[in-house]
Amino acid sequence: MQTAIVGYGYVGKGMRKIFPGAFVYDPKINCNAKNMQKKAAKEAVNACDLAIICVPTPPIGMNEQKINVDCNTFLRADTSVVEEVISWLKTPLILVKSTIPPGTTDRLKQKYGKRICFSPEYMGEGGYYTPPQYPSPTDPMRHGWMIIGGDPKDCDDMYDIFIQRMGPAKVYFKCSAIEAELIKHMENTWIAMKVTFANEWKNICDSFGASYNTVREGWLLDPRVERMHTAVFRNKPGFGGKCLPKDLHSIITASGKQGYEADMLKSIWQANQKFRGADDPGTVLCPKCFPHDKTIVTCPEEEANNGYAYCEIHGKVSW
């Protein structure tokens, strides 16, 4: 059983921890890259039994980082790279790990007549210590569950491949592709909502001259309240990064196409922009200056995908 990984970014590297012998196809990487054993051509990929797609799905017309500085426009996810890859793949099974809008898997199955499933990924980019009871941000082998969405026979065949690598102790949940796509967006918008709620309460506590940290610890004594995503970081308020903003935008626009305006989710984004940009929700502040100084940073195209911006005081900073 030979596996190929298409796209060797954050998620692709995680998939390689499950399949360390997998062929890797990514035109952007050097074949001598660290820990790279096999950089495959398309022909080698198509000789595999399973291809796992881990390519970016940024907002249309923007990249994941620049979306953080646009307040009023909600953008759908760009699935063109996913579709381009599926167009040339000939493997018997195709698994999409890239986050895609609800309905995309079914649309691509119908268009190309291929056996395609979608599986949400639960790696993260928080950067802080993650206790073992939570999903590892870097290693999907340590996750306690896996979701596979698609036709039942396709899901079963994927299940048989992954259980041999990830073991029988995990929970393997099978559902339709559109349900799996919705699960992923529900997860990330839930996290965004928790972060926004915590930041709102930090501001409420400040307005009363109270310590949010003290109020938070008292609140968390109630076992019905869960700790993760309730901290408020003084130099990094709100949420950012490559996942939460774009997935929030994606489901807002996808729901709108279905005739439903997700007003609560829109309010989460608008509140987050207030926390991130303070006076002007269309700006991003330097994490080293904030909260003492409100220095606006710029996000050049060539650096934004790497999570960098430029501050007039500190120069290049990670955002």
Could you read off the pLDDT of 173-231 as tens digits, one per residue?
999 999 999 999 999 999 999 999 999 999 999 999 999 999 999 999 999 999 999 99
Is pLDDT above 80 for 293? no
Asked, for residue 232, whether it belongs to a domain, the answer is no
Higher pLDDT, 288 or 146: 146
Cβ partners under 8 Å of residue 279, min gap 6: 294
Shared-domain flag, residues 307 and 171 = no
For the segment 220-250, what is each residue's pLDDT rounded down to a tens digit?
A: 999 999 999 999 998 889 998 888 999 999 9
Give residue 302's pLDDT band: very low, low, confident or very high (50, 70, 90): very low
173 strand-pairing partners: 147
Shared-domain flag, residues 299 and 159 = no
Asked, for residue 318, whether it belongs to a domain, the answer is yes
Asked, for residue 68, whether it belongs to a domain, the answer is yes
Shared-domain flag, residues 312 and 172 = no
Output the domain CATH number for residue 122. Answer: 3.40.50.720
C-alpha 138/C-alpha 74 separation (Å) is 29
Shared-domain flag, residues 288 and 164 = no
Asked, for residue 224, whether it belongs to a domain, the answer is no
**Dihedral Cα 182, 141, 85, 73, nearest 10 deg:** 40
Shared-domain flag, residues 150 and 288 = no
Asked, for residue 132, whether it belongs to a domain, the answer is yes
| pLDDT, average across residues 274-278 | 75
Of 148, 176, 204, the one marking the end of a domain is 176
Looking at the chain, which runs of residues are DSSP E strands? 3-6, 23-25, 50-53, 93-96, 116-118, 145-149, 171-175, 308-311, 315-318
- Whether the Cβ atoms of residue 99 and residue 120 lie closer than 8 Å to each other: yes
Shared-domain flag, residues 33 and 170 = yes
C-alpha 77/C-alpha 100 separation (Å) is 7
Is pLDDT above 90 for 116? yes
- Distance between the two ends of the chain, CA-based, in angstroms? 40
C-alpha 12/C-alpha 100 separation (Å) is 16
The owner of tokens 């596979």 is 148
- Number of structural domains, the chain? 2
Asked, for residue 139, whether it belongs to a domain, the answer is yes
Is pLDDT above 70 for 64? no
Shared-domain flag, residues 153 and 294 = no
Of 176, 192, 221, the one marking the end of a domain is 176
| pLDDT, average across residues 133-160 | 94
φ, ψ for residue 278, nearest 5 deg? 55, -110
Average pLDDT value for the chain: 86
| pLDDT, average across residues 18-24 | 94
24: helix, strand or coil = strand
User: What's CA 282's distance to the chain center, in Å?
Assistant: 22
Asked, for residue 246, whether it belongs to a domain, the answer is no
Asked, for residue 269, whether it belongs to a domain, the answer is no
Q: Please give the residue range of the domain that contains residue 69.
A: 3-176
Shared-domain flag, residues 291 and 160 = no
| Position 65, amino acid | Q
Is pLDDT above 80 for 73? no
Shared-domain flag, residues 18 and 160 = yes
C-alpha 159/C-alpha 155 separation (Å) is 6
C-alpha 301/C-alpha 152 separation (Å) is 42
Of 134, 158, 176, the one marking the end of a domain is 176
